Chain A
């Protein structure tokens, strides 16, 4: 039993399993990008044969990246990376130490060249640090090593990816996200956080040819518990940061002032955004603002005027739908009159707290460092052993450089013929 568990553990931490996971992940991403995501079952039934649609829905291929099995895949990949890094750590530490030890050079060197009287020149030509001289048992030795840190490349990469996946997954699970929208002067709650956001101002900066350059919202966030408040501005690419939340300028849309009068007196007046409902106070009436067009053709007057498309609901049932153009008579329900005016743009803000985004960023930076170490700092060792006749034999090994390093070494050593390659492996980063 213990043997079997050990074998399973070995497989789960193996690179073979890691490669398998990468393949599955790549295929999953392909499927997730080719099947349009996040639609209801009917949508798939209209586009795919019934069985295919059922399969898509059954396997959650309609929302691959938020499915449980995708999360499980991410967790397994984390486990594989973690085990791989933990199990390789002692060996890697040993190799890192040994790499600096002049007496622990490989018995069979990867590249060896017999050389004449002055081996120091070889070290210099291939830009090695000044060699140390050691009086060893077999004779005098010269030894130099560079880029030992490169041995850590793959390990650091794995660590970075691990942090990225953990940060991303934790962020997905714990992120708080709310939307707040309205026109200047309105105060809206930020979900159930106890905070409110007041939109102090909203502006659209346009270029000479009327192209939108920037949307900017000036806002004040207030802590409902303490009464403390802070102001900031949020624009596209420049989110505001208040009370641990990031506030993004997300979207804009049309809004208009809706005035409700009862018996000729104003009973209710507020700005309503397109897509919003307005409950008419003290009535079973509800107004839905469908759309605003600033150039609506009114067949009655034959003019093009601003128009407000609406629906009204009475006791929950749709009662009326139409367009009220500017200057039109108000909608009338007994003594209640409803009219639209003052069209303007509303701002939509996204208020978000992702407590793990720093971990994702850290993981990304570590990954980049790991890749740079693994690919561009190949650990290189050069050593020279003095033979009994006083001449020197210079040997070298360079991970990740193979025949290119061999060529450089041969040139430096002044050896015309190809050096002996005693080890088939070109020497690439450790996994």
Chain B
């Protein structure tokens, strides 16, 4: 007799598929907006993205109900939550600063991250004793916001670099904020990310002390979180000390996000340690 599948998990599977389709549709509309230069398409795209975020949230809730815990404990759950965080932060920045081109650049990244999630095993396993902690929710959810913010700063960095090449384009000049403003928005998303990354590291240290008897073990995940933190700290100091703004800051935001991705995927793939399940 086959294993009985939790019906909530079936609902989650359907919602996850709809989420992916909505994000793909949003990307297509954003692309058309860039190509056809019609604002209406951007509005449709951001609405579809918002709908995708709502369905995505429902999928996460269903998984949480099916698992009987927060869905933040394995590669699949963290990847889909990472995509959710990226979608949320990009929509917040998009609405706050009113520039849909951000969505056009953020949505392919969201698709890449959620695509990575789709490749992971969706099996729900019981948690090992060390993961049965109330710190799990705080630690991982702050990491999602941090990664989402760094993802947005990466996207803004790319837009900044492209904007330089598109100086003569009337569409870019009217639909993308000035370079100074882009730089400042990128800086703000780095600030948000760094605050949440610090929070992630501190809550992680408190949790590690309770679970493993040591708040810092130089585990590869911890070490690479520190590397990421240091890279963004260097970025902030260089902004102040040497006036590294604009192009240099944009390149730094891209490098910083590469560190984030390595901390998340690279460490799990190449440097196993205490966080091997994450």
Q: Which residues of A contact B (CB under 8 A)?
A: 15-16, 18-19, 22-23, 25-26, 29-30, 32-34, 37, 65, 168, 207, 209, 211-215, 235-239, 246, 248, 250, 350, 352, 357, 360-361, 364-365, 367-368, 371-372, 374-376, 401-404, 407, 426, 428-431
Known: A29-B223, A30-B227, A368-B202. A239 touches B210 (CB 8 A): yes
Central interface residue in B129, B223, B234, B238, by most chain A CB within 10 Å: B129
Asked if B38 is at the interface of the complex by the 8 Å CB criterion, the answer is no
Chain B interface residue number, banded: 35 or more
Please give the distance in Å from B267's CB to the nearest CB on chain A.
Answer: 8
Asked if A372 and B126 make an inter-chain contact with CB atoms under 8 angstroms apart, the answer reads: no
Cα–Cα, bound, A417→B185 (Å): 21
Query: Does B198 have its Cβ within 8 Å of any Cβ on chain A?
Result: yes
| A374→B192 CA distance, assembly (Å) | 11
On whether the beta carbons of B239 and A214 are closer than 8 Å, the reply is no
- On chain A, the residues within 8 Å of B226 by CB distance are 29
A168 near B180 with CB under 8 A, answer: no
Q: Chain A residues near B237 (CB, 8 Å)?
A: 15, 18-19, 22, 431
Task: Report how far A156 CA is from B213 CA in the complex, Å.
Answer: 29
**Bound-complex Cα distance A22 to B199 (A):** 20
Interface membership of chain B positions 178-220, coded 1 if the CB is closer than 8 angstroms to chain A and 0 otherwise = 1011001101100110110011001001110111110110101
Residues of chain B within 8 A (CB-CB) of A239 are: 210, 213
- Ordered by A's residue number, 22 sampled pairs between the chains whose C-beta atoms are within 8 Å are A15-B241, A19-B234, A19-B238, A19-B241, A22-B230, A22-B234, A23-B234, A26-B231, A32-B218, A32-B223, A34-B271, A214-B129, A236-B132, A250-B212, A352-B213, A357-B209, A364-B205, A404-B181, A404-B185, A426-B245, A429-B240, A431-B241
Q: Which residues of A contact B274 (CB under 8 A)?
A: none
List the 9 closest A-B pairs by CB distance, nearest first.
Answer: A248-B213, A375-B191, A236-B129, A211-B126, A364-B202, A26-B230, A33-B223, A350-B213, A237-B133
Assess whether B233 is interfacial by the CB under 8 Å rule.
yes
Instruction: List the A side residues contacting B10 at CB < 8 Å.
Output: none
Q: Are A212 and B129 in contact (CB under 8 A)?
A: yes
> Which residues from B are CB-within-8-Å of A360?
205, 215
Interface residue B128 (Cβ < 8 Å from any Cβ of A): yes
Compute how far the CA of A428 lies from the CA of B207 in the bound complex, rounded to whole angstroms.
Answer: 33
Q: Which listed residue (A25, A364, A403) contacts B180, Cβ 8 A? A: A403
B209 proximity list for chain A (CB < 8 A): 357
* Contacting pair B227 A361 (CB below 8 A): no
Please state if B241 and A29 are interface contacts (CB–CB under 8 Å): no
Partner of A236, one of B178, B192, B211, B233: B211
Known: A168-B216, A248-B212. 18 other contacts (CB 8 A): A22-B230, A32-B223, A212-B128, A212-B129, A213-B126, A213-B132, A215-B129, A236-B130, A238-B210, A250-B212, A357-B209, A367-B202, A375-B191, A375-B192, A402-B180, A403-B180, A403-B181, A426-B180
A214-B132, A368-B202 given; A209·B126 CB < 8 A: yes
Q: Tell me the nearest residue of chain B to A404, going by C-beta.
A: B184
CB distance from B254 to the nearest CB of A (A): 16
